[in-house]
Amino acid sequence: MRSRWCPWEIGYADGKKPLDSILILQTKDESGHYYGNEYLQLYRYISASQSGAYRAYGAAQTQNGVLMESMRR
42-53 tens-digit pLDDT? 889 888 877 778
Domain span holding position 47: 6-72
Instruction: Give 12's pLDDT tier (boundaries 50, 70, 90).
Output: very high
Predicted confidence band at 72 (pLDDT cuts at 50, 70, 90)? low
Average pLDDT, the chain: 81
Per-residue pLDDT band at 71 (split at 50, 70, 90): low
The size of the chain, in residues, is: 73
Q: Is residue 1 part of a domain?
A: no
Q: What is the mean pLDDT of residues 17-22?
A: 87
Strands 27-28 and 53-57: unpaired
Q: Would you say residue 57 lies in a domain?
A: yes
Quick check: is 58 in a domain? Answer: yes
Q: Which helix (H) or strand (E) holds 9?
A: helix 6-16
Q: How many domains does the chain have?
A: 1
- Report how far residue 63's alpha carbon sits from residue 27's, in angstroms, rounded to the nearest whole number: 18
pTM of the model: 0.71
